[in-house]
Amino acid sequence: MAKSPRVTFKMKRIAEDDWQIIAQYPGLEDRLIKGLKSKAEVDEWMNGSRRIDWLRSQGYAK
């Protein structure tokens, strides 16, 4: 059985207290998650329930 494509996440520092996460899904336009204030907040988003909540809200997870 073939694996379905997955969303990949990349962090990006815009300024000292302005971070974003770029969500990439093959065949679709990249989406930005904005409003993060530090690398620690990005790490918390990536490793916590907020990532799963976002995936669900976008229809990528059950």
- Confidence at residue 56, expressed as pLDDT on a 0 to 100 scale: 95
Q: What would the pLDDT profile of 3-60 be if each residue is shown by its tens digit?
A: 778 999 999 999 999 999 999 999 999 999 999 999 999 999 999 999 999 999 999 8
- Confidence at residue 21, expressed as pLDDT on a 0 to 100 scale: 98
Q: How confident is the model at residue 2 (pLDDT cuts 50, 70, 90)?
A: low
Pairing of strands 31-36, 18-24: antiparallel
Burial of 36 (0-12, 13-18, 19+ CB in 10 A): buried
- Confidence at residue 1, expressed as pLDDT on a 0 to 100 scale: 60
What are the sequence ranges of the domains in the chain?
8-57
**What letter would DSSP give residue 46?**
H
Please tell me the distance from the alpha carbon of residue 12 to that of residue 29, in angstroms, as a whole number: 17
